[in-house]
Structure 1
Amino acid sequence: MGLPQIIIQFKTLAETMVSRSERGIVAVILKDNTSSFDTKTYTKESEIVKSHYTTTNLAFLSQVFQGNPSAVIVERIGTDGSIDTALERLKNKKWNWLTVPSVQSGETGTIADWIREQRSTYHKTFKAVLPDTAADSEGVVNFATDGIKVGTKTYTAAEYCPRIAGILAGLPLNRSATYYALPEVEAITESEDPDADIDAGKLILINDGTKIKIARAVNSLMTLTDRVGEDFKKIKIVESADMIRDDIRTTFEDEFIGKIENSYDNKVIFLAAVNKYLKDLADAGVLYDKFENKAEIDIDATANWLKQTRDISGWDEEKIKTANTGTNVFVKANIQIQDAMEDLKFTIYMS
């Protein structure tokens, strides 16, 4: 294995990122006693056998497919079944967005906790759309609009979550869900203070007088840190970060782990490939092209690991950077993800 092969692989991932992001996978947990199967995967709505589901659940699946995801994974549990059973089946599958249209208020917290655990402990990039759930997580969208009138049906927030999940799975990275219009919606229970709701991490629908649309596309994150800043409140930013993380991790696992020795030269090869990938993402508009967007060996993390077994008090950065780190590769990156155009301040002066 040499550098060119990895560069080509990363280049393909960069060039296809926008199109890949447009075709996300939605996982749906349905409470349904009509059939006995556990799991079904569909790539288009016409594949669904109608006798397998209740009329209500068929409508939920149709909502998801309106957003044009690449696939829909259905995890079926009985009407009295446990959400935990479905989550256990989902944990080792590949998907992007989860929706549970018949979720009960006592179950939303369980799902939010599970999403947080999968993201923080197992580094999965799962996300969920949940009704009225202040999860304080970049991985959970807190959908908080009720009274959604579509034809003769009026949906609760929970019942409309499949539509939102389908939209988020089907949007490319070069656009935000902010102001995404919902032509089928005739009326909603309007927020009394949209700005306050958005600031509280709620995804809501608004009526601009001519159409119903998604307000600012935010997730439920509220608690910010040095590593998780204001940008991570935005669904588009988190989607981009998740895809970048998945691409780099998957390529490392497929092309490096167990296949080459952990020499300094091979670390440099990996970093060169990642940095070319980041440059290609900037060229594609995924990363901000006026920022350096660079990955490098993490000197601090390497030093902390070395300190566990030896005295490095007299070592300079170069010696730490080139040190033997066993099976560990300590790398960090500083990037800026390109946001969508959402806010305008336009002052007109009359002379």
Structure 2
Amino acid sequence: MTITLPNIEIIFKQLASNFIKRSERGIAILIVKDDTDTSFTSKEYKNLKELEKEKTLYTSENYQYILDTLSFQVTKVVVIRVSTTETMVDALSIVEKTVKTGWITTVGIADDYTAIVNWIKDKESNGETYKAIVYNATAPDCKHIVNFTNANVVFKDARAEKTGDKYLPSLLGIIASCNIEKGTTYFVCENLAKVEEVADNNDSLNLGKFILINDFDNVKVGLGINSLTTFTDVNSEDMRYIDTVETMDLITDDIRNTFKNDYIGKYKNNLDNQVLFISAVNTYFSSLAKEDILDLNYKNYSDVDVVTQRAAWVKIKPEAEAWNDTKVRNTTFKRNVYLGGDVKILGAMENLRFNISMF
């Protein structure tokens, strides 16, 4: 038997398929190429005052990008700096050594966005929860990637009209600031006067493109979606929404981190100790429901995954096929903990149908 590091796999499937510390959300990771000051590779800013003190570390253009991100209520902005001769792969290697999760973007060239897409998909396959906003990428089809596509935007300040990629830092601030608390649909982009709309809004949305629209005097996010367009039992249609995936990632990070930090190696693998962990998870789900993250009117629970645990036993004890569910639940499998859960994530209100009858 191959021995590996402890494996904690949190699998989300449609409809079934406070821990010690709530995982931090709202982190914006902005990658810049800048040779102004090469003495650092990363900086953190929580407010504009902190940034102003270090204005001389960046070109005026990169400083503006950081300012744009901080203009929205993010938890913090992590600036990843690489030299102008380094690649996006170099920058992303710094990201994974610096920040455990967060939203990532850069103002770059097509190859930069391709590198980010590939990196995010690799991280997603490993169960990590980084997310990115890219510009006009070719069908990323990924729930952790937002693909912005408007060709041009008009800023309210002296920058006036710029190509759409120059708005990525602002979108980074907008999306990171919304996190699990609210959707981004119809979010007002207060620093824009106008946007060049795409040719067909609905066609773009159905292709997994994130778009801005003009709504009278405001520029707004059209719909808070990521680039996922291929739907399966694992990646359902609900997972095309940014706020749904944010909640999934919150739960994944919290459960995984708590199990890793407070349970692995500290408890024997018997049912009583599994129930302790299950009870903690269910209490956590209840707290999320009270915060309108999960649906308070839904059961929202976790328990031993009897089907998976039975299958594990059947491989070495074929007679386990005939065990009743209680025996399977009581018979823990070696060092493995097989749990399942069923929760209902609340999405933001977006669609209204209001029929009025007149006498």
Give the TM-score normalised by structure 2.
0.88
Using the TM superposition, name which of 136-145 and 191-200 deviates more.
Answer: 191-200
Query: What whole-Å deviation, never above 9, does each CA across 1:173-195 have from its counterpart, x for those lacking one?
Result: 33211101112211211122111
- Alignment RMSD (CA, Å): 1.7
Counterpart residue identity of residue 239, structure 1: E
Residue 104 of structure 2 aligns with which residue? Answer: 98
Residue 8 of structure 2 aligns with which residue? Answer: none
Contact map agreement 1:132 1:157 (CA 8 A) in 2: no
CA shift in 2, pair 1:41/1:12, >3 Å? closer
1:193 aligned residue (188, 200, 203): 200
Between the aligned residues of both structures, percent identity stands at 31
**Structure 2: distance between partners of 1:83 and 1:183:** 30
Aligned ranges for residues 45-60 of structure 1 at < 5 Å?
A: 45-48=48-51, 49-60=54-65
SS at match of 2:195: coil
SS at match of 2:32: strand
CA shift in 2, pair 1:98/1:42, >3 Å? same
Counterpart residue identity of residue 59, structure 1: Q
2:334 aligned residue (276, 301, 326): 326
**Structure 2: distance between partners of 1:105 and 1:28:** 17
Displacement after TM superposition at 1:78 (Å):
1.4
Contact map agreement 2:124 2:144 (CA 8 A) in 1: yes
Residue 206 of structure 1 aligns with which residue? Answer: 213
Contact map agreement 2:189 2:220 (CA 8 A) in 1: yes
Aligned ranges for residues 102-117 of structure 1 at < 5 Å?
A: 103-117=108-122
Contact map agreement 1:178 1:215 (CA 8 A) in 2: yes
**Structure 1: distance between partners of 2:348 and 2:242:** 11
Q: Structure 2 stretches of 5 or more lacking a match?
A: 1-17
Contact map agreement 1:11 1:276 (CA 8 A) in 2: no
Query: What whole-Å deviation, never above 9, does each CA across 1:192-214 have from its counterpart, x for those lacking one?
Result: 21111111111111011221111
2:19 aligned residue (10, 13, 26): 10
Contact map agreement 2:153 2:163 (CA 8 A) in 1: yes
**Structure 2: distance between partners of 1:181 and 1:262:** 51
1:28 aligned residue (2, 26, 30): 30
CA shift in 2, pair 1:157/1:307, >3 Å? farther
**Structure 1: distance between partners of 2:162 and 2:306:** 53
Contact map agreement 1:67 1:168 (CA 8 A) in 2: no
Counterpart residue identity of residue 94, structure 1: K
1:243 aligned residue (238, 250, 268): 250
Q: Structure 1 stretches of 5 or more lacking a match?
A: 1-8
Counterpart residue identity of residue 41, structure 2: D
Displacement after TM superposition at 1:79 (Å):
1.3
Using the TM superposition, name which of 304-313 and 131-140 deviates more.
Answer: 304-313
**Structure 1: distance between partners of 2:290 and 2:47:** 32
CA shift in 2, pair 1:291/1:135, >3 Å? same
SS at match of 2:247: helix
SS at match of 2:43: strand
Displacement after TM superposition at 1:95 (Å):
3.3
Displacement after TM superposition at 1:12 (Å):
6.9
Residue 168 of structure 1 aligns with which residue? Answer: 175
**Structure 1: distance between partners of 2:316 and 2:87:** 47
Residue 260 of structure 1 aligns with which residue? Answer: 267
Report how many residues are paired: 334
Query: What whole-Å deviation, never above 9, does each CA across 1:295-314 have from its counterpart, x for those lacking one?
Result: 11112221232233332233
**Structure 2: distance between partners of 1:75 and 1:260:** 39
Contact map agreement 1:132 1:142 (CA 8 A) in 2: yes
**Structure 2: distance between partners of 1:77 and 1:272:** 45
**Structure 2: distance between partners of 1:309 and 1:107:** 48
Residue 272 of structure 1 aligns with which residue? Answer: 279
Counterpart residue identity of residue 209, structure 1: F
Residue 81 of structure 1 aligns with which residue? Answer: 86
Counterpart residue identity of residue 46, structure 2: T
Give the TM-score normalised by structure 1.
0.90
CA shift in 2, pair 1:94/1:45, >3 Å? farther
Q: Does 1:63 align with 2:71?
A: no
**Structure 1: distance between partners of 2:327 and 2:76:** 49
Displacement after TM superposition at 1:285 (Å):
1.0
Displacement after TM superposition at 1:11 (Å):
8.2
Residue 12 of structure 2 aligns with which residue? Answer: none
Displacement after TM superposition at 1:97 (Å):
0.4
Contact map agreement 2:186 2:223 (CA 8 A) in 1: yes
